[in-house]
Chain A
Amino acid sequence: MMRWPRAFGRFWYDFIVGDSIVLAIGGPGVLAASYELARSIDQAVLQLLLPAAVIVTLAASVLWRAE
């Protein structure tokens, strides 16, 4: 009876977390930060800041594994 919910949970865990918790937290974190910044900083700056933050998140996850 518990096999399906467990399998469902495991599927979503593998899908979202996979083998990098940094990306699972960093991806949504970057968009949440952009939501906050969208009202307080210039749009032109935000358009550069968002992709830059995504690249930093990727680099952090790669370095985490590389070490």
Chain B
Amino acid sequence: MTGTLILVGSAFLASTVEMVEALTIVLAVGLTHNWRTALVGVLAALIALAVVVGALGPSLVNYVPIETLRVVVGTLLVIFGLQWVRKAILRASGLKAMRDEGKLFEQELAELEAIPVASGVIDWTGFVVSFKGVFLEGLEVAFIVLTFGANSGRFGPAATGAGLAVALVCTVGLLVHRPLTRVPENAIKFTVGVTLVAFGTFWGGEGVGVNWTLGDVTIPLLALAYGAAAWLMVLTLQRQSRVSPVPSGVQQ
């Protein structure tokens, strides 16, 4: 039960971060070109992502030996999760500027306003921008759903978490028509990154021959240890960055 909740929660939080980033692009397309184009782009990207997960998921489980899967997935999760944690540490300590959805939205608007809107039902440029925004951000979510699903043998919990996040961000986006600047993106990235590294270490470790004495209980313990270590790094770097100036600007 706890494992299922962690799977749903991790997929939900990771998807929320990615979908908030995608929403900024979709809103810019909707406001500068037209809403029909923006929404058709979103729909096409979600279908494409569902096809990727639907096609790869069963193949991974049915044809790849579980030991191989654990090593490959564990390695990828460790790399991917560490990248998120590293970025969150640098942002929290002031060594890297925070992502500013408001500024990115303004930039996206300016770029799209410079492109003439095609007449017709669907504006092709707007469609491509909207599709790419959702598809590329969604690929990271698809990766998490696939890896979690393949290793646990159940795609339901991770897919449910991702689906809930997509529904929530789409609903809020439709209601407010503004980029979601108040979402604590860095804190979410920090939490999800730590969780991904914990899962990656656990599964990758099992794949290379580590017998975790505590079984599944090891995963939250690993997450706590990684979280504490990462937090210590933030505190250390914050102390150091008081001496040197903080960089400014918009980060992707």
Contacts and interface: CB of A to CB of B under 8 A. Distances in A.
> A and B from one assembly?
yes
Interface of A: 11, 15-16, 18-20, 23-24, 26-28, 30-32, 34-35, 38-39, 43-44, 46-47, 50-51, 54-55, 57-59, 61-62, 65-66
Contacts of B85: 58
Interface stretch (B13-21, B163-171, B208-216): B208-216
Nearest to A32: B208
B240 A66 contact: yes
Given A35-B208, A55-B229, A62-B237, A28 B75 contact: yes
Nearest to B78: A27
Contacts of B74: 31
Contacts of B212: 47
B145 interface: no
A59 B60 CA distance: 33
Interface in B205-252: 205, 207-213, 218, 222, 225-226, 229-230, 233, 237, 240
Contacts of A26: 82
B201 interface: yes
Size bin of chain B's contact surface: 35 or more
24 contacts: A15-B80, A18-B83, A19-B83, A20-B86, A23-B83, A26-B82, A30-B78, A31-B78, A34-B204, A38-B208, A38-B209, A43-B210, A43-B211, A43-B213, A47-B205, A47-B210, A47-B212, A50-B201, A54-B82, A54-B201, A61-B82, A61-B86, A66-B237, A66-B240
A23 B210 contact: no
Contacts of B240: 66
B71 interface: yes
Contact of A51 (B79, B207, B209, B222): B222
A62 B86 contact: yes
Interface of B: 71, 74-76, 78-80, 82-83, 85-86, 89-90, 95-96, 139, 143, 197, 200-201, 204-205, 207-213, 218, 222, 225-226, 229-230, 233, 237, 240
Given A38-B208, A39-B209, A51-B201, A58 B86 contact: yes
A54 B233 contact: no
Given A31-B78, A58-B229, A50 B205 contact: yes
Given A35-B208, A50-B205, A51-B201, A44 B83 contact: no
Contacts of B90: 62, 65-66
B225 A55 contact: yes
Contact of B83 (A20, A51, A66): A20
Given A47-B213, A58-B226, A62-B90, 6 more contacts: A11-B139, A20-B82, A27-B78, A31-B208, A47-B212, A54-B197
A62 B226 CA distance: 14
